[in-house]
């Protein structure tokens, strides 16, 4: 007899959990208090325009593809992710611009135009963020930190990776120009953090972007949710919308 699982909340985490449980032959029910799915990835409409309510760029598209591939589905039949050539454009008070991308030749050319001495520092920074990425993403992303002992075990490595520094402080130890410091320490903003106070572990985003690039969901992030909803309906996940869970009763 298949186990029955109930997932509360339909953000990316809830949807991923529901699909992975279904792939393991659970009978899955997904409950969402709002009238539509998505959590922070929900859309909202105002004055005739449609807006993404949360994330607007995708930095690890393989994680999305995996969920479709669990059911031998082609992601391209459900969503369209387009890689971007220019990831971010920075415009400063003096009206100068910096196009941030995965093109290392162009990146170093722009850095050299601002401060030639910082090219080497930039290269060293990228190499260091790879170490953070290898530890924080590759090794620890799937580790459940449900016991203090697990966290304590990682403390030496986290200290070695300068986790006690802020992202801005870490970047500043490699790059001297203030414009470049602001550019290269912006990544905590993507998750609602402050570059001046957020731990340097979030520097792994700098390398993560370089590994898989930045993608945009054509039609907005809400279209990814629509694709997932279609998939969940196809594979037999029960979806309940507009119902809030008030209490969890365990035996």
Q: What is the CATH number of the domain that holds 43?
A: 3.50.50.60
Does the pLDDT value for residue 140 go beyond 90? no
Top mean-pLDDT range of 55-64, 120-129, 140-149: 120-129
Check residue 115 and give its pLDDT: 97
Beta bridge partners of 101: 86
Q: Are residues 49 and 118 in the same domain?
A: no
Residue 177's CB is within 10 A of a number of other CB atoms, namely: 17
Using alpha carbons, list the distances in angstroms from residue 51 to 18, 131, 242. 26, 36, 21
Higher pLDDT, 119 or 144: 119
| Average confidence (pLDDT) over 237-250 | 93
Q: What percentage of the chain reaches a pLDDT higher than 70? A: 98
Check residue 145 and give its pLDDT: 65
How many domains does one find in the chain? Answer: 2
Asked whether residue 117 is assigned to any structural domain, the reply reads: yes
Does the pLDDT value for residue 245 go beyond 80? yes
What's the pTM? 0.86
43 in helix, strand or coil?
A: strand
Q: Are residues 208 and 231 in the same domain?
A: no
User: Rounded to an integer, what distance in angstroms lies between the CA atom of residue 145 and that of residue 245?
Assistant: 26
Q: Are residues 90 and 194 in the same domain?
A: yes
* Domain extent at residue 42: 4-58+220-241
Q: Are residues 34 and 96 in the same domain?
A: no
Asked whether residue 195 is assigned to any structural domain, the reply reads: yes
Question: 20 Cβ partners below 8 Å, 6+ apart?
Answer: 67, 70
Query: CB of 31 within 8 A of CB of 8?
Result: yes
**Beta strands per DSSP E along the chain:** 4-8, 27-32, 43-46, 49-52, 81-83, 86-91, 97-101, 215-217, 238-241
């Amino acid at each position: 007899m298949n186990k029955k699982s109930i997932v509360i909340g339909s953000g990316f985490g809830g949807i991923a959990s529901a699909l992975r449980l279904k792939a393991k032959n659970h009978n899955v029910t997904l409950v969402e208090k709002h009238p539509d799915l998505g959590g922070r990835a929900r859309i909202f409409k105002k004055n005739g325009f449609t807006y993404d309510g949360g994330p607007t760029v995708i930095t690890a598209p393989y994680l999305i593809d995996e969920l479709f591939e669990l059911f031998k589905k082609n992601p391209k039949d459900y969503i369209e992710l387009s890689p971007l050539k220019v990831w971010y454009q920075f415009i400063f008070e003096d009206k100068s611009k910096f196009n941030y991308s995965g093109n290392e030749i162009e990146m170093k050319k722009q850095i050299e135009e601002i401060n030639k001495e910082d090219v080497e520092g930039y290269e060293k920074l990228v190499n260091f963020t790879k170490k953070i990425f290898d530890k924080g993403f590759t090794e620890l992303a799937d580790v459940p930190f449900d016991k203090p002992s697990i966290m304590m075990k990682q403390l030496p490595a986290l200290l070695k990776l300068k986790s006690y520094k802020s992202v801005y402080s870490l970047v500043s130890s490699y790059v001297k120009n203030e414009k470049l410091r602001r550019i290269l320490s912006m990544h905590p903003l993507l998750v609602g953090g402050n570059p001046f106070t957020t731990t340097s572990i979030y520097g792994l985003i700098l390398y993560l972007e370089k590994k898989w690039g930045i993608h945009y969901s054509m039609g907005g992030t809400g279209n990814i949710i629509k694709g997932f909803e279609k998939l969940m309906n196809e594979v037999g996940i029960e979806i309940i919308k507009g119902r809030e869970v008030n209490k969890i009763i365990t035996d």
